[in-house]
Amino acid sequence: MELTPKQQTIELLRSAQRVLILSHVNPDGDALGSMIALSLVLKKLGKEVTAVTSEVLPENLRFLPGKENLSSNFSGTKDFIISVNTSKIKVDKLSYKNLPEENKLNVVITPINGSFRPEDVTFSQGAFKYDLIVVLDAPDLDRLGTIYDKNTDLFYETPVVNIDHHPGNDYFGKVNWVDLTATSTAEILVALVESLSREKPLLDVDVATALLTGIIVDTGSFQNANTTPKSFTVAAQLVAAGARQQEIIKWIFKTKTLSTLKLWGRVLENVHDEAQSKFIWSAIKRQDFADAGADDSASSGVLDELLKTAPNIDFAMLLSEKNDGLHGSFRAARAGVDVSAIARLFGGGGHEAAAAFNLAGESLETRGHEVIQKIRDWQKSKVQN
């Protein structure tokens, strides 16, 4: 009988010794909470774990326990191996001389007698240092950003486990555990931790807190339309395991820096009501972030606040000029509205209730009007039908 994706994932994790954990660029609470939780669990099982995110943690997620397990440094390189045939001539000693002024490294091999010839020396590449890659909360490998772009060979030569809940997932892994009924990747990982715990207890307070953070963020503290009975059940299980629910709520929803509040003020000041098309949108420039003293993550959450007060709309959208280009975020205002379909118009994706896209290297000046007009036309056709 063929193993399920869950069973295959468990088998690969149990047999691997060196595991690389990755998620999408601009990681949110689900991505970061899932990465941290899985990293903590695998280290308890004696694995060598590297969990990499190239982004600075958003201020409202810096409370996460185990965040020190995340690394910003990544090396997907192989060893360069120099092999010497010693069947006829034996080595007395080996040394090297670093010559930075000549951009050289001389490897010096001293024979006991005789001399080595160029044909005695061969060169080869070593294997990658990871047995397994686990990609969390990412619908495709391109969403990993430069880590994938600069190390594509690593992903072809190393088994990849793809754990996700996005409907637009590309099923890019050797194993694809994609659960479209789950509210978050963190919810899926709870079942994984349970199965791995048969060997030893793994669901401690820190793991439970990291996983509950992912669920709370992706459900909007159980206010979003994607909330299911199972998400409540799993959350209750995590709270019973010691998850610090009130601390999560405090940092995610109740703690805002002055710079964030200034930026949100600019977002609210720029709100446009597309009454005929039944959506609202706002836009912020790079200069708005600079004037507020806010980083790229400070705009997170403002769309949810807009939805709480805007009646009779299908969705809200925010266009943000960020360091890597023009970023668009969507939140559905009611069930039955699929904002991921809109995000796909611009090469993005996500869930029915929450989605996003990024236009690399673009700005509001170069693409903003085009984006808004395309959404107006798309939404008008939906409203008329």
Could you give the dihedral angle defined by the CA atoms of residues 136, 50, 191 and 140, in that order, rounded to the nearest 10 degrees? 10
Residue 1 confidence (pLDDT): 67
Per the CB < 8 A criterion, the answer to whether 342 and 355 are in contact is yes
Please report, rounded to a whole number, the percentage of residues in the chain having pLDDT higher than 90. Answer: 47
Q: Give the residue-averaged pLDDT of 308-319.
A: 84
DSSP 58: P
Which residue type is seen at 343?
A
From the number of C-beta atoms within 10 Å of its C-beta (0-12, 13-18, 19+), residue 112 rates as exposed
Better-predicted residue by pLDDT, 299 or 29: 29
Residue 126 confidence (pLDDT): 60
Question: Taking the alpha carbons of 358, 361, 363, 365 in that order, is the dihedral positive or negative?
Answer: negative
Residue 354 confidence (pLDDT): 82
Q: What is the pLDDT of residues 204-230, one digit of tens each?
A: 999 999 999 999 999 888 887 788 999
CA-CA distance, 265 to 269, in Å (whole number)? Answer: 6
Per the CB < 8 A criterion, the answer to whether 298 and 320 are in contact is no
Residue with the two structure tokens 């989605």: 355
Q: Is 324 helix (H, G, I), strand (E, B) or coil?
A: coil
Q: Residue 384: is its pLDDT beyond 80?
A: no
Indicate the pLDDT class of residue 323, thresholds 50, 70 and 90. confident
Q: What is the pLDDT of residues 231-279, one digit of tens each?
A: 999 999 999 999 999 999 999 888 888 888 898 888 988 899 998 889 9
Per the CB < 8 A criterion, the answer to whether 317 and 279 are in contact is yes
Per the CB < 8 A criterion, the answer to whether 85 and 120 are in contact is yes
Return the closest-CA partner of residue 31 out of 60, 13, 53: 53
Indicate the pLDDT class of residue 78, thresholds 50, 70 and 90. low
CA geometry: angle 172, 58, 338, nearest 5 deg: 50
In the structure encoding, which two tokens stand for residue 127, read together? 């294997």
Bridge partners, residue 30, by sequence:
none
Please count the CA atoms within 13 angstroms of the CA of 344 that sit on its side-chain side: 12
In the structure encoding, which two tokens stand for residue 222, read together? 């159980």
Better-predicted residue by pLDDT, 303 or 79: 303
Q: What is the pLDDT of residues 41-54, one digit of tens each?
A: 999 999 999 999 97
Please count the CA atoms within 13 angstroms of the CA of 264 that sit on its side-chain side: 15
Better-predicted residue by pLDDT, 83 or 125: 83
Q: Is 249 helix (H, G, I), strand (E, B) or coil?
A: helix
Residue 77 confidence (pLDDT): 61
Q: Residue 128: is its pLDDT beyond 70?
A: no
Angle between helices 205-219 and 185-196 (to 10 degrees): 150
The full set of domains in the chain, from first to last, is 5-74+129-252 (3.90.1640.10), 80-125 (no CATH), 258-384 (3.10.310.30)
The highest-confidence range among 172-176, 301-305, 378-382, by mean pLDDT, is 172-176
Better-predicted residue by pLDDT, 315 or 123: 315
The reported pTM is 0.78
How far from chain centre, in Å, is Cα 59?
Answer: 17
Q: What is the pLDDT of residues 330-363, one digit of tens each?
A: 988 887 888 889 999 998 887 788 888 989 889 9
Per the CB < 8 A criterion, the answer to whether 31 and 24 are in contact is yes
Phi-psi group of 316: left, alpha or beta (phi > 0 → left; psi -120 to 50 → alpha; rest → beta): beta
CA-CA distance, 5 to 182, in Å (whole number)? Answer: 15
In the structure encoding, which two tokens stand for residue 147, read together? 């880590």
How far from chain centre, in Å, is Cα 259?
Answer: 25
Indicate the pLDDT class of residue 178, thresholds 50, 70 and 90. very high
Per the CB < 8 A criterion, the answer to whether 120 and 84 are in contact is yes
Per the CB < 8 A criterion, the answer to whether 264 and 302 are in contact is yes
Residue 228 confidence (pLDDT): 92
Residue 190 confidence (pLDDT): 97
The region of weakest confidence among 73-77, 102-106, 121-125, 328-332 is: 73-77
Q: Residue 164: is its pLDDT beyond 80?
A: yes
Residue 92 confidence (pLDDT): 80
Residues 6+ apart with CB under 8 A from 152: none
CA-CA distance, 343 to 177, in Å (whole number)? Answer: 23
- H/E run at residue 283: strand 279-284
